[in-house]
Amino acid sequence: MTTELQTKPTVSITYCTGCNWLLRAGWMAQELLQTFGTDLGGVTLVPGEIGGIYEVRVDDVLIWERKRDGGFPEARELKQRLRDHIDPDRDLGHNDRPGKTS
């Protein structure tokens, strides 16, 4: 692994296998990679055995937890939280405009 990849933030999405949330987690991973591209070191999908788990972490920082945050994140909200954590000055274009959803 190169030093450059080690310095970029990595995202992990832990999802409940019993709830069949793999497709939801995969779609969200694609959304994050599409928006942040090479600014991320990667997005990892982590199968979880804990009933109802859906967590998104940047490195070791929890930025979304389904039970704590009241459900699943909209792509827009998750992109904003990720941006706020890794690059607060980054413009997310239409995702930053009020009243728009992705």
**Of 21 and 102, which is predicted with more confidence?**
21
20-49 confidence digits (pLDDT tens): 999 999 999 999 999 999 999 999 999 998
Range of the domain at 72: 9-17+24-91
Whether 43 is in a domain gets the answer: yes
Which two structure tokens, joined as six digits, stand for 41? 């070191």
Whether 54 is in a domain gets the answer: yes
Residue 49 has what pLDDT?
A: 87
Query: Which CATH number fits the domain that encloses residue 36?
Result: 3.40.30.10
Residues 73 and 64 sit within 8 Å (Cβ to Cβ): yes
Whether 64 is in a domain gets the answer: yes
**Domain count of the chain?**
1
Residue 94 has what pLDDT?
A: 65
End-to-end CA distance of the chain: 33
Q: What are the backbone angles phi and psi of residue 99, rounded to the nearest 5°? A: 85, 0
**With 50 as the cut, is the pLDDT of residue 100 above it?**
no
Residue 91 has what pLDDT?
A: 84
Three-state SS at 2: coil
Q: What are the backbone angles phi and psi of residue 10, rounded to the nearest 5°? A: -120, 145
Q: In one letter, which amino acid is 76?
A: R
Residue 79 has what pLDDT?
A: 95
